[in-house]
């Protein structure tokens, strides 16, 4: 999946598009995009999927997205806010982190 297509899919999924959500979740084990796997983990509350996202994360940016996603699923709200602030200062276009930081991320189990 191209970066532009991934960004469009992320935008649709965090916006609540059922088709995009289903696609992100269905492709979570086939994609090599750490952000998409982390998003799938958030959408399904599958903490175990974050290990795969972590293995796929090759950039600092992607590793931060995975860490923030893991903190969110663990209910570490103060840590999420601190990490998200730092991440968004360097990557203001990080939709997944902005979604989590605004409290819109999928509810924890």
Q: Domain residues of the chain, as ranges?
A: 3-101
Distances (CA, A) of 90 to 10, 60, 97: 19, 11, 12
pTM to 2 decimals? 0.90
The chain-wide mean pLDDT, for the chain, equals 92
Give the Cα separation of 105 and 29 in Å (integer): 20
Mean per-residue pLDDT, 1-25: 90
What confidence category does residue 109 fall into, taking pLDDT thresholds of 50, 70 and 90? Answer: very low
What confidence category does residue 103 fall into, taking pLDDT thresholds of 50, 70 and 90? Answer: confident
State residue 105's pLDDT score: 64
């Amino acid at each position: 999946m191209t970066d532009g297509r991934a960004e469009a899919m992320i935008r649709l999924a965090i916006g609540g598009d059922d088709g995009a959500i289903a696609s992100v979740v269905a492709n979570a084990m086939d994609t090599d995009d750490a952000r998409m796997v982390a998003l799938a983990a958030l959408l399904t509350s599958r903490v175990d999927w974050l290990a795969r996202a972590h293995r796929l994360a090759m950039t600092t940016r992607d590793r931060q997205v995975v860490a923030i996603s893991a903190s969110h699923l663990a209910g570490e709200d103060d840590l999420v806010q601190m990490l998200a602030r730092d991440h968004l200062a360097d990557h203001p276009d990080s939709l997944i982190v902005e979604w989590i930081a605004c409290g819109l991320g999928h509810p924890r189990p």
